[in-house]
Structure 1
Amino acid sequence: MLNMAEGIARLGALAESPVVDTLARAFADAGFDLAIVGGPVRDALLDRTTNDLDFTTDARPDDILRIVKPISTAQWDIGRAFGTIGAKVAGEQVEITTYRADSYDGVTRKPTVEFGDTLEADLVRRDFTVNAMALRIPGRTLVDPTGGVEDLVARRLRTPAEPAVSFGDDPLRMLRAARFSSQLGFDPDPATVAAMAELRATLSIVSPERIQGELVRLLQTDDPVRGIRLLVETELIGEFLPEVPALRLEVDEHHHHKDVYEHSLTVLRQAIDLEHARHPDAAPDVPLRLAALLHDIGKPATRRLEPNGGVTFYHHDIKGARLARKRLQALRFDADTTTVVTRLIELHLRFFGYSEGAWTDSAVRRYVRDAGDELERLHILTRADVTTRNARKAGRLAKAYDDIERRISELAAQEQLDAMRPALDGNRIQEVLGIGPGREVGEAYRFLLDLRLDEGIVSEDEAEQRLREWWAARG
């Protein structure tokens, strides 16, 4: 329950902070208005951590720069065309933007930048009422022209203008609704939900890079499942990530299998819980969360209904990895993220053979080798992929994975698994066999690596002898 008295007290403390007080005095002395705006005001009222300080003013960009130069250690004006000047004041990074009164062309979503004259008019053009509040400083007056406080109390997301107008101005706001729903735990009002469904096709005018950015911010929240459900409910997600709603496979009365969509959301939630438990101070692991969400997207294309009533999804791991790569590239994800996600999807079934019978040390080494730098993420994804309601089965799988992690740790201590290489490098292979660079060197290297995986560490002398025997046997 929102306690306004405590919230106002937190706003007062924010206004008294060195950076805010310094800026407030500087702008007042120069004869301009200044207000803290948007997220910092909302978060102070909700008692949430405030990471960014955003300000708005009636000063134009040139005036802003002139005012902040004497009180800041650095300034940047990359956003000057949009009225934004950045600076580092009292050790903190801030952004100060001239009041805006933009209009949109409705085709490219690019705004016609127009500077405004009043704080109230600036606030009305923002995305949601809970983000359209400001605190005037140094006077400490809360300005809330669209009912943001009431919506905070009701835990409601609502647009300041009619939703169709707001989303028509910038369709990306529909994705932000999902992100803020997850981030704040708020529900969009019915009119907002209806507009998201009705206007979903307009997302096509938004660049893939901006869509990707909002998807990442959604996945970075503690409860992205909430926002994903909203995107699926409104069918908005079909405009940029259609593989997710496609997981809602039809189940007929003769062929039964678990709900792949609900399973995937559970895996995502469990992966986040494990991420927090195993690495409590780490930043949100977006590649891991993407892999958890997408790990079964190959199932619709590989589903086969068997005569006995069973359902199979053979090779859905390989198919899913290919689909994920194509989709992530379309959304302009970087190559590293794409590679990590697709590798995790490729490997997410590998462990389940272990639970059916203990692996040899060689098999464990190969598991480590194949996972490479993503071994810890694979541990988390594989554990999260157990969603069975059968307590005995879940316990057996958990015990099996405890065992494989123990064996990996023991082998790592004994054999330096994180630096798994043959005893001989390419140059030494050429010397021992008396050959030059070429395909045979690569084949010999793979033979020695297999030897290392099968038998563990072997000495250099032993490796040379086995290499000569292998070469002689080739004829």
Structure 2
Amino acid sequence: MNELAAKRNAVTELMRISPVADDLAGLFARAGHRLYLVGGSVRDAMLGRSSPDLDFTTDARPGEVLKIVSGWADGVWETGIEFGTVGVTKRGATLEITTFRADTYDRVSRNPEVTFGDTIEGDLSRRDFTVNAMAIEVSTKQFVDPFDGLAAVRDGILDTPATPQESFADDPLRMLRAARFVSQLGFTPAPRVVAAMTEMAGELARITAERVQAELSKLILGSRPRQGLELMVDTGLADVVLPEVPGMRLAIDEHHQHKDVYQHSLTVLDQAIALEKADGWEPDLVLRLAALLHDIGKPDTRRFTSGGGVSFHHHEVVGAKMVRKRLRALKYPKQVIEDIGQLVFLHLRFHGYGRGEWTDSAVRRYVTDAGDLLPRLHKLVRADCTTRNKRKAAALQRTYDDLEERIARLEAQEDLARVRPDLDGNEIMKLLGLPPGPLVGQAWRHLKELRLDRGPLTHEEAVAELVRWARENGIEPPE
């Protein structure tokens, strides 16, 4: 992309959002202030990418901004006003308007001492990376680029306006954001940025888990998460955020001894993403994290065997516990934690299928244990095949094809997604003369186990089995 084309893209994007931006700029001009489109909005325009939200900066102080947009905006919120930001909605567009900043940081917490600035150049000097330190004055369409951000976008280079050490000391989260931009935008960090990240990785520990998790999730959902994760591991950021991932470099995968578990896991992540795309899925955080973390239990379960072999017995059980612990520490939502933990726990279940040992009961249990996660489990298991032996890989895929076809046949016959006992709780209580309580739950679970083992029972068979269970447990059904 040449510079003229990039500027044209930016102006075209700016005109696309007009007249909202032009109207807003007119309001600021009439009040004696300037308004600039800034940051990621300009960067994305240079890249020909649309931005759902628009960021502006101005010399007007927050109180003045509120007066200017009052009566014009469809909605206004002041959540970030102490940091100089006023949020606005207008005709479906979301705008954030922030007063020029000249902050200083205590370099102990991440919280700045908010100080307002007077120039656009001073504001841009405080930005995280030069690709985000460009602005367009909305009224005149003048392009402002004091730190050669346009050249950085053109060359795909991630660098900082100030020295990386100054930038990262001010806000250590910027180091993780660098890895996120590698994943999302395909940028390459400048050598001095990588050196500073490596030197200062431990500073990330002073950032709250919630902020770290938000950046990590964006990285995982990017188009090149492998590259972002490799940067995290190589610089030591992963030792702070996801220490189990670099920890996998210690173990040799028992099926692929030419690779360590770390490289295997990154390949599984790549293959899971390819399967997402093949089926038209949106980027799936749960699937991608499960792919990355499915083998994190291997280092703790590694055992060397006679003859030079290695085993990882029950690594899926250990790994599921480790996943839940790490994701809780990162403050992920409870359902996300449980879903990823369950996928890690189940990812090895399939490997007994190819030996011809699975009954219909085993297939039912596979589907029932996966529940709503079954489509993701299908992709995770398929992605977990990273052998270079084409014949072996094809055989594994054919075997899983067979399992999916078998699931489909049983589903058509039995509605596997909603396996329930053949008698409900009310029938159990009536037939056994029991009040609500634990015994009813035990009887219900017994009938569900039968349903999984044998498939649907007739009503008479189910009643007979319930009576048999009751008598074995000292319960005499009424006549």
> Does 1:9 pair with 2:8?
yes
Aligned to 2:460: 461
Aligned to 1:259: 260
Is contact 2:182–2:224 with CA below 8 Å preserved after alignment? no
Q: Deviations over 1:268-324 (max 9, x none)?
A: 1111111122234x3x21121111111100000000011111110000001011111
**Unpaired runs of at least 5, structure 2:** 475-479
TM-score normalized by the length of structure 2: 0.95
**Aligned residue type for 2:287:** L
> In 2, Cα distance between the equivalents of 1:28 and 1:409?
65
- Any residues of structure 2 matched to 1:37-436 within 5 Å, and which? 37-249=38-250, 256=257, 258-280=259-281, 282=282, 284-357=283-356, 359-436=358-435
Query: How many residues end up aligned between the 2 structures?
Result: 470
**Aligned residue type for 1:15:** L
Q: Deviations over 1:29-71 (max 9, x none)?
A: 2221001101111111111232221110111111112222222
Q: Does the C-alpha gap of structure 1 residues 313 and 250 become closer, same or farther in structure 2, counting only changes over 3 Å?
A: closer
Q: Deviations over 1:308-358 (max 9, x none)?
A: 111100000010111111111111111111111111111110111112226
Offset, 1:457: 1.9
Deviates more, 1:448-457 or 1:165-174: 448-457
> In 1, Cα distance between the equivalents of 2:21 and 2:216?
31
Deviates more, 1:329-338 or 1:451-460: 451-460
Is contact 2:184–2:222 with CA below 8 Å preserved after alignment? yes
Aligned to 2:446: 447
Aligned to 2:477: none
**Aligned residue type for 1:304:** R
Secondary structure (helix, strand or coil) at the match of 1:70 reads coil
Q: Deviations over 1:403-422 (max 9, x none)?
A: 21222222222211121111
> In 1, Cα distance between the equivalents of 2:233 and 2:343?
24
> In 1, Cα distance between the equivalents of 2:408 and 2:64?
61
**Aligned residue type for 1:370:** D
**Unpaired runs of at least 5, structure 1:** none
> In 2, Cα distance between the equivalents of 1:362 and 1:381?
22
Q: Deviations over 1:74-132 (max 9, x none)?
A: 11110000111111112211111000010000111210001111101000110000010
Offset, 1:250: 5.7
Is contact 2:251–2:261 with CA below 8 Å preserved after alignment? no
Q: Deviations over 1:420-448 (max 9, x none)?
A: 11111222112112233343322221221
What percentage of aligned pairs have identical amino acids? 54
Offset, 1:214: 0.8
> In 2, Cα distance between the equivalents of 1:137 and 1:131?
17
Q: Does the C-alpha gap of structure 1 residues 181 and 26 become closer, same or farther in structure 2, counting only changes over 3 Å?
A: same
**Aligned residue type for 2:41:** P
TM-score normalized by the length of structure 1: 0.96
* Runs of 4+ residues over 6 Å off in structure 1: none
Q: Does the C-alpha gap of structure 1 residues 68 and 358 become closer, same or farther in structure 2, counting only changes over 3 Å?
A: farther
> In 2, Cα distance between the equivalents of 1:225 and 1:256?
21
Is contact 2:3–2:151 with CA below 8 Å preserved after alignment? no
> In 2, Cα distance between the equivalents of 1:256 and 1:414?
42
**Aligned residue type for 1:357:** G
Q: Does the C-alpha gap of structure 1 residues 292 and 251 become closer, same or farther in structure 2, counting only changes over 3 Å?
A: closer
Q: Does the C-alpha gap of structure 1 residues 413 and 251 become closer, same or farther in structure 2, counting only changes over 3 Å?
A: closer
